Amino acid sequence: MMMRRREFLAAASGASALAGRVPGVAAPSPQGGRTFTMDLVPGMVGVDLPFPRLVELASRAGFESVAPDAGDLGSLDDEGMAALIEHMREHGLVFGASGLPVDFRKDDEAFREGMAALPGFADVLRRAGVTRVGTWLMPRSDELTYLANFKQHVRRLREVASVLGDRGLRFGLEYVGPKTLWSSGRYPFVHTMAEARELIAAIDRENVGLVLDSWHWYTAGESADEIRSLSNEDVVACDLNDAPAGIPVDEQIDNQRELPASTGVIDVEAFLEALVAIGYDGPVRAEPFNATLNAMDDEEAIEAVAEAMRRAFARIG
């Protein structure tokens, strides 16, 4: 069922009353010469709220962008969509990056099922003004050798990229760096920036770039210079995380992370400064997979993430 403007505004009005923030206050000005946004992806931090309420709390906490939910957006008619975008504008927010609903890592049947729905998904994002979509790469396989896996990824992701590109959407690929993950299968696969760039070159579509994550950058043993070798056009989205202290880098576990600038294990300052240097202008969001954070109520979790992000961003000016 399509949600009309009046229904959306009623929901937004209730959220405004709860949030206690005066609409029209813009998001904080960028610090340290940055052009990227402090982004909130609710699912990454265990938050589950109606979108109008999420907008209110994200704005109050100082976020500058929020991840779109294509399911929610698809339920809106043109008036409802316009009302939602205006509600975001009044609270100083824009859309960040969407996830990809296509499972390209499994069998052909699962891939084809996802591809059948992709045009409609992409059309909804385009209608909302979203311009970025990202996904991650499994760094191992028990069935496919590196070369066979590479060829399959090129074929499938080129098809995805073409559908997204036809609708003006950029497409980011995130390599996954921990040795504990890429070495756990029979055949390791892409798990470094250099390998991801080779894959992107082979896909050969102008709208394809990287999703960078300070966690994977750290576990892959990479440097700020490698980020500085990129351009803004090469980077679609970024994640900012820290790592648990007292664990050697090759023993770090992918789903056991910390909020940005919490432990100092990862040099988030160097990571962010490199993003500033290349003029990166997309979303930067936390993805800590943190049990303590997930146990908090929604408002407390949003504030905790915002505090960590502000602490990290303050290191660049």
Task: Count the residues in the chain.
Answer: 317
The CA distance from 48 to 59, in Å, is 16
Residues 65/310, Cβ–Cβ less than 8 Å: no
Whole-angstrom Cα distance, residue 175 to residue 177? Answer: 6
pLDDT in tens, 156-201: 999 999 999 999 999 999 999 999 999 999 999 999 999 999 999 9
Cα separation, 299 vs 303, in Å, equals 6
Domain architecture of the chain: domains with CATH: 5-21+37-316 (3.20.20.150)
Average pLDDT for 86-104:
97
SS3 letters for the chain? CCECHHHHHHHHHHHHHHHCCCCCCCCCCCCCCCCCEEEECHHHHCCCCCHHHHHHHHHHHCCCEECCCHHHHHCECHHHHHHHHHHHHHCCCEECCEECCCCCCCCHHHHHHHHHHHHHHHHHHHHHCCCEEEEECCCEECCCCHHHHHHHHHHHHHHHHHHHHCCCCEEEEECCCCHHHHCCCCEECCCCHHHHHHHHHHHCCCCEEEEEEHHHHHHCCCCHHHHHCCCHHHEEEEECCECCCCCCHHHCCCCCCECCCCCCCCCHHHHHHHHHHCCCCCEEECCCCCHHHHHCCHHHHHHHHHHHHHHHHHHHC
pLDDT-based confidence at 31, cuts 50/70/90?
Answer: low
pLDDT tens-digit map of 274-309: 999 999 999 999 999 988 898 999 999 999 999 999
122 close to 163: Cβ distance less than 8 angstroms? yes
Residue pLDDT, tens place only, 230-271: 999 999 999 999 999 999 999 999 999 999 999 999 999 999
Residues 6+ apart with CB under 8 A from 268: 214, 240, 242, 260, 261, 312, 315
Reading the block at residue 315, the tokens are 């290191």
Measured CA to CA in angstroms, residue 183 lies from 47, 60, 125, 138, 152 at distances of: 32, 42, 36, 11, 20
pLDDT of residue 291: 86
61 closest CA partner among 28, 35, 90, 89: 28
For residue 17, pLDDT over 50 is answered with: no
The pLDDT of residue 19 is above 50: no
Overall pTM > 0.85: yes
In percent, the amount of the chain with pLDDT more than 90 equals 87
